[in-house]
Amino acid sequence: MKEIFKLSYLIAIVLFLTISCKDERKKTEKVLTQEATEEFNVIGNYVSEDYSKRSEGYDWVSVAITEANNNQLNISIRSRADKKKPTCTFDAVAKKVDDKVYQTQINGKSILFEFTNAQISISAEKEEHESLLYFYCSGGASIAGTYQKINEQMDQNQIDKTKFNSVLNLQDVGFSVSSIEKDGKNTLTISTFGLQESEYNQTFIIDGKEVTNAEVEDLNSDGSPELFVFTRSVGSGSYGKVYAFSVNNKKSMSEIYFQPTSENSVINKGYMGHDEFSLVENTLGQRFPIYKEGDTNAAPTGGTRQVSYKLVDGEAMRKLKVDKITEY
């Protein structure tokens, strides 16, 4: 009887230890999973080392990361601007390489954004392309380096108020695209450099909108580039708009007509915003969800409509004409 009791006691001890080990292992796995999730939550604000000394007058640079569509990130680099002109200004959309690495292409050169331990490191993919990282800064500075994540907004009293900034080049023509909020108004300024007869310099009031991206391409293969600036309305609708421009034989630049989607009966059935635009080979691509009657803004049920536009000559100006429509 005593032997049976001892055996039962030993079995109970073994079972208790086994269950305890499993519980501890599950707890450990849960903690590791949480840490991994936290480690790769790349969205947020990152700052250079001297941010902590900003009250002493030190210059600093910030990197704001927000989520974009299709496994992409919006990268926005800004610097201190309360005492002097901003040191660094850079905007780009970066595509996902893996959980830790994103990249963007600038004039055929890759810039890498690597995330580890609540940090982001910015570098050129190839050593010979490092000079590109100096282009977006003044005074010999570079956007390259490692930035530490913070859990609050950047110092709004010091940070550069530029909303968007990009410099693009194609076929020996350059474009500067910038958006800044000033005197209570949000503006979009577009200027050229390298045109042979008349440079373009125009500012548009875009209150209620934000610039999401800018791209260049020679859509009609005439040897001169086209510029496209994409905006969206601020709010739940996120209605997209295209500002398009065509360079005329590298001498001047003029606007291209793009009919607002809400006014285009060919494609606007079920349209309620949430546009995405991009250049695909020699076409402008647009994609948006289709809403059925009774759908809420947050829950479309009609699938997706994809539209491609060709650049054609019009009577007064060039225009973007619907070429293909696909629904899925």
pLDDT of residue 36: 45
pLDDT of residue 23: 55
pLDDT of residue 31: 45
What's the pTM value of the predicted model, to 2 decimals? 0.75
Ranges in the chain annotated CATH 2.40.128.460: 162-327
User: Three-state SS string across the chain, please?
Assistant: CHHHHHHHHHHHHHHHHHHHHHHHHHHHHHHHHHHHHHHCCCCEEEECHHHHHHHHCCCCEEEEEEECCCCEEEEEEEEECCCCCCCECEEEEEEECCCCEEEEEECCEEEEEEEECCEEEEEECCHHHHHHHHCCECCCCCCCEEEEEECCCCCCCCECCEEEEEEEEECCEEEEEEEEEECCEEEEEEEEECCCCCCCEEEEECCCEEEEEEEEECCCCCCCCEEEEEEEECCCCCCEEEEEEEEECCCEEEEEECCCHHHCCCCCCCECCCCEEEEECCEEEEEEEECCCCCCCCCCCCCEEEEEEEEECCCCCCEEEEEEEEEC
pLDDT of residue 107: 80
Residues of the chain with pLDDT under 50: 2, 5, 14, 28, 31-38
pLDDT of residue 68: 84
pLDDT of residue 16: 52
pLDDT of residue 40: 64
Digit-coded pLDDT (tens) for 45-66: 999 999 999 999 999 999 999 9
pLDDT of residue 10: 53
In the CATH scheme, what is the code of domain 162-327? 2.40.128.460
In the CATH scheme, what is the code of domain 44-150? 2.40.128
